[in-house]
Each structure stands twice: as structure tokens, then as C-alpha cells.
Amino acid sequence: MDPPPSAPPRTVICVGDVHGHISKLESLWSNLQSALPADAFATALVIFLGDYCDRGSHTRKVLDFLIALPTRYPAQHHVFLCGNHDFAFAAFVGALPPPPDGSPFSATWDEYLHNEEHEGWFRGPGHEGMHVQGRRWGGVIKERWNPKKGLPYKGSIYDAQPTFESYDVAHGSPDLAKAMPEEHKKFLHDLVWIHEEDDVPVDTDKGQTVCKLIAVHAGLERSMDLNEQLRILRTRDTRVPKIQMLHGRHDVWDIPKDLSAEQIIIVSGHHGKLHIDGLRFIIDEGGGYEDKPIAAIVLPSKTLIRSTE
């Protein structure tokens, strides 16, 4: 008697940066649902790669959408990674986990104080007890033009003005925390900095292989001790002024040499690009731009699905 057919591998969906674009998120979600078999979609592991806020106009609606997903799709498993924008947003509204050693958040300022004037850090009520990234996020950048993006800044170095306005408060207002629903602050507080998943199948040129998956917003640094990176990410160590695994641009692009010999997928958003090289996936086609779609990658097939609003 033939053995019963084995169940198909669980579908894993990794969703790129949303950046306040609710209509793109709704379109992407609808396209994912249409593209996948009903049972695969209904039971998928869905990993959101971070950066839910800023640039787009509807951060509040994006958070409402994400918070509702576990109720709407109870058989799915949802992972919400912390992006650098979300970290800074949480820092501004008092939703960051406290430093594990009880040190004040003001201890994070010193390394970057030389940027305070240029970046126009927030100096209003409550700034004394704020993480440096919260002060940068809620500040007012003196320059009006971002040469890296070829676009004007939206309020701060983080383009945070649309996030304030989505909660009907003025950019830089300390009233933002009062204007936000408590469930939004809890969502920001609970964001994970890393997700590790064993036994994730992925299709390769040599057939399907089973890998460990590590999801982190920007990537893992090649030149920093891997165990120290993992400690910071797993414990959410908010003593660190700038977590390169969430904020970095250059040294986080490739798989660290300590992991390159193993069958490990590393998937990130953050970089404003789509990049698939072996088991290194960067899924951020949108980058917060108005004219670009939000993309998601579906495993094991490595199918790319995009918003089509």
C-alpha cells in the first residue's frame, strides 16, 4: 500500500516595506490571495519586513490593517519586524522597550550629537527621556531636499510628517502619543527585531532544499561579531544608539561569512531594491516611493507578487 501523500510545505510570504501606503498594501494583499491556492494562503506564515510608517499618507490605516490580520486570518501566522522607521516612531511616542540595564535613553545621544543641529532634532516636551532616533524622527530637517532620493524631505530626516498628519496632529507635535490608539502603541512596542524559522523549503536550481530563514529589516553585518548581533536583535537591546541590522546600508548587503557555508535564507527589506542572489533576498521594491509597487516574495517558489493599484 502506498504511503499517504505528504502535505505540501507551508507557504511563507515575506512582504516588503509599506511606508504608509494603505491602498498599495490592500492591493498586494488581494493579489496574494488571488495568486495562491486558498488553503496555502489561509495557513501561510506572513512575515512583514518592517517600515510601516512615514513617506506615505496613511500610517494610521496601515497599522489598523496589520493589527486586524490575526482576527481576519486566524490560521495564518503573522510576524511583524521592526524597521528603522518603526523603531524611531516607537521611540518618539514612548513605545520602545526600556534599556535592559535601566540606563536612560539620553545615553544614546552622545555618538550622534554632532548631527543635532543639521538634522534639527526634536527639543520639545519629553525630549529629555527620548532615544536619539526618536529625536531625529520628530525633528525638523533644515535642508528641504534629499539628494539621495531626489525628493524633498517630508518634515524630518525620516520623512515623518505624513505619519503625524495621519493621526491629525502637526508634524513634530508631542501630542502624537495622546492621539494614537493604545493598540497602535502596543503594536510598535511588540515589534520583533529578528525572526528565525527552521525548516523553510525553497526552490533552487538544484531542486527544493530546506533551510533556516532569518528575517531582519536591513540585514546582518559582515564585519560585526555574529553572536553579538543576534544578542542585540533577540533581546531588543535599546541601549544601542543605531542598530545597524535595522539601519545599515552597505555592510548588511551580503550574508555574513559565518553563515555563508550553511543553508540559511536571509531576507530583508529596507534598501529600496529587489535583490535575489542565492539565498539572500532583499524585498523592498517600493522604498516608500509613490510610483513604485510594494512587493512580496512567496516561498518555496520564490514567486514575486506586487501591488497593482
pLDDT at residue 105 in the model: 98
Q: Please give the single-letter amino acid code of residue 111.
A: E
Q: What angle do CA 227, 299, 192 make, to 5 degrees?
A: 40
Whose grid coordinates read 502603541?
Answer: 185
Give catalytic status of residue 85 as yes or no: yes
Query: What mean pLDDT is predicted for residues 63-92?
Result: 98
User: Of residues 19, 85, 270, 271, which has the active-site annotation?
Assistant: 85
pLDDT above 50 (res 3): no
Helix or strand holding residue 275 (H, E): strand 274-277
Mapped onto helix, strand or coil, the DSSP state of residue 173 is coil
Per-residue pLDDT tens digits for 193-221: 999 999 999 998 889 999 999 999 999 99
Give the C-alpha separation, 274 to 283, whole Å: 5
- What is the helix (H) or strand (E) element at residue 296, kind and residue range? strand 295-299
pLDDT tens per residue, range 247-295: 999 899 999 988 877 899 999 999 999 999 999 999 999 999 999 999 9
Could you tell me which residues come within 8 angstroms of residue 207 by beta carbon, excluding any fewer than 6 positions away? none
DSSP code for 271: S
CB count within 10 Å of CB 6 equals 6
Q: Which pLDDT value is given to residue 7?
A: 64
| Integer CA distances (angstroms), 251 to 49, 244, 245, 246, in order | 18, 9, 9, 12
Amino acid at the residue 128: E
β-pair type (195-204, 207-215): antiparallel
More confident residue, 89 or 207: 89
Kind plus residue range of the DSSP H or E element containing 20: none
